[in-house]
Structure 1
Amino acid sequence: MTTLIQQTHVSVLGLGPMGRALASAFLTAGHPLTVWNRTPGRADDLADRGAAVAGSVGEAVASGQVIVACLTDYEAVRAVLDPPGADWAGRILVNLTSGEPAQARALADWAAGHGIGLLDGAILTPTPAIGTPATALLYSGEREAYEAVRETLGALGGTGTYLGDDPGRAAAYEVALLDLFATTVHGVAHAFALASAEDIAPEDLAPFAAGIGGLLSEMVTRFAGQLGAGHFPGERSTVASAATTIGHLITAATAHGLDVGALTAAKNAADRAVAAGFGPDGLARMATVLGGEGAGAERAAR
């Protein structure tokens, strides 16, 4: 498989907000572009800029050398591509659809069974960043496929990081990072809800909440080092103190009728860690007591 040249013809499947951003970036970089979307009418501005609008998935695949899929989920990718309706010889499928690691590996098996070169990816930045230096993308799967399309994918801007030949690796990073994002957003929303219940105006809380947010970057780096070393010093804060604090939060939130599901889950995890003898440890220890791989980490740490 040879590296595709700079002006590779790209076909984009799916014109949701992210798919449109990807298509626009390829056009801006000067790539010939074909687009397809299940619902007609979303490609008019792209057509005005020179994109060809395919009437079918098979037509879009036949037109391009690099086929970029950005659809609702992995099931949608399989639904539009199976059975393959075009000759995939010399073409590479780059799947930038969000999903689970197991789904990425299953798609790779399907692609291999149909002679389709596949590179699976994860987009870590919002649509406005696509095509700018702020873009961050992760890729995993066949190295040969990655090397073939790396220059073409440079049109998306920023940094693209290849994580290895496990096709589920990019999705694994993505779900872990989205876990952080989702729970953080919930925490921010819950904090404002609790503040409002106590008659604190959002704009009054915001400067202090931003200060709390600023602690997270340092905490992430520190936790990673402690988890790698298996050493969890408790001189800053301990699991036991966190369990007590979360208990106070649950009491305060419950008094105002707020949902405490997430706080209860956090309290249960902290209580399990204390019961296991980890109360004096630092907060990074919590990553080892959350079940699954964490349970193994807990046993190893002991």
Structure 2
Amino acid sequence: MTETVDRPTITVLGLGAMGTAIASAAAAKGFEVRAWNRSPRSRDELGLRGIELVESLTDSVDRTDLVVICVRDHDASRVLIERVASALAGRVVVNVSTGTPAQATESADHAAQLGVRYVSGAVMVPTPMVGTAECCALYAGSESDMSELEPMFDAMGGVSDVVGLNHSVPAVLDLAMLDVYIAGMYAHLHATALAAAHGIDPSRFLPYSQGIVQTLGASLAGLTSSAERRTYDGGDARLDMCLSFLEHIVSASREVGIDPALAEVVRAVSARAMTRWPGGTDWDVVGEEFLTAGHHVRR
């Protein structure tokens, strides 16, 4: 690492919500923090304290120990890496910008072509959890590059999961978890509206929603086992029974003028499964449609 006068220095490029959270967490852990943003903003606007805002992108990475990039997408991050590559002098760049697995791999290859030491990352929690014991972040890269990330691990707090050399892994796990999380939030809001349409206050419905989420959590291991074994004979939730439930959810939503779009999607995939599997098959069999479609990309 580059020597610093006293504390390790972390430079954060990009001060959106997540970049600001990372910079704040690093400063709170005692690191010297520099930050650069494409659109100049004041510390007061950003709510930042104890962080040096640098106007020049090249100056921001000068004499720093670690560079963290957190911008809107990989197209933007690749442009930044091109602009600072000659100034990095062997220091590691950690890119936690969100993108697809293919984009993450392309960015890693692009950095290698520029001679940049590069680690792919993904922050798996909302911004308030960054820097706390509840934080979880994933990293992929070479062992030698990963050895430079102790300041990042310390700043982020919680779990720092090093997943190996494959730069696509942090991105795919990030999106897979968001797939569950965002669909779950949407389902909760839809269910809350359905209950409210029948005079049940959202706060009264909340404990019921929390309870069914706990039930779902307990069901995930069984769903995972079914997907691994590709067998659907546990007898816990029949395909025909779940399809009937979904028909009722769609009808009840339409009765009160609520868009049943998500339930309609799940109903449609369940109905397709019914054309190929007996009604007594576990509902988990709907996953065959995804597993078969994704089979060609497995390694």
| TM-score normalised over the length of structure 2 | 0.89
| SS of structure 1 residue aligned to 2:183 | helix
Aligned to 1:223: 223
| SS of structure 1 residue aligned to 2:55 | coil
| SS of structure 1 residue aligned to 2:68 | strand
Aligned to 2:208: 208
Aligned to 2:243: 243
- Counterparts of 1:216 and 1:189 in 2: how far apart (Å)? 17
Deviation at 1:47, TM superposition (A): 7.2
Q: What are the within-5 Å matches in structure 2 for residues 21-32 of structure 1?
A: 21-32=21-32
Aligned to 1:295: 293
- Counterparts of 1:261 and 1:46 in 2: how far apart (Å)? 39
| SS of structure 1 residue aligned to 2:30 | coil
Contact (CA 8 Å) 1:65, 1:90: kept in 2 or not? no
- Counterparts of 2:142 and 2:168 in 1: how far apart (Å)? 11
CA offset digits 1:59-114 (Å, max 9, x no partner): 11223221101112222212333344642222111011122111111111110110
Q: What are the within-5 Å matches in structure 2 for residues 1-302 of structure 1?
A: 7-43=7-43, 48-49=49-50, 51-84=51-84, 86-277=86-277, 279-290=279-290, 293-295=291-293
Contact (CA 8 Å) 2:61, 2:84: kept in 1 or not? no
**Identical aligned pairs, as a percentage?**
27
Contact (CA 8 Å) 2:81, 2:111: kept in 1 or not? no
- Counterparts of 1:30 and 1:152 in 2: how far apart (Å)? 12
CA offset digits 1:22-64 (Å, max 9, x no partner): 1122222222221111222343588752x33211221112232
- Counterparts of 1:55 and 1:203 in 2: how far apart (Å)? 47
- Counterparts of 1:93 and 1:130 in 2: how far apart (Å)? 19
Q: Which amino acid aligns with 1:88?
A: L
| TM-score normalised over the length of structure 1 | 0.88
Q: Which runs of 5+ in 1 are unaligned?
A: 298-302
Q: How many residues align?
A: 294
- Structure 1 pair 147–85 and aligned structure 2 pair: CA distance change class (3 A): closer
Deviation at 1:285, TM superposition (A): 2.3
- Structure 1 pair 283–47 and aligned structure 2 pair: CA distance change class (3 A): closer
Contact (CA 8 Å) 2:25, 2:155: kept in 1 or not? yes
- Structure 1 pair 214–147 and aligned structure 2 pair: CA distance change class (3 A): same
Contact (CA 8 Å) 2:2, 2:64: kept in 1 or not? no
Q: Which runs of 5+ in 2 are unaligned?
A: none
- Counterparts of 1:3 and 1:229 in 2: how far apart (Å)? 50
Q: Which amino acid aligns with 1:245?
A: F
- Structure 1 pair 178–294 and aligned structure 2 pair: CA distance change class (3 A): farther
- Structure 1 pair 123–48 and aligned structure 2 pair: CA distance change class (3 A): closer
- Counterparts of 2:283 and 2:3 in 1: how far apart (Å)? 48
- Counterparts of 1:152 and 1:295 in 2: how far apart (Å)? 37
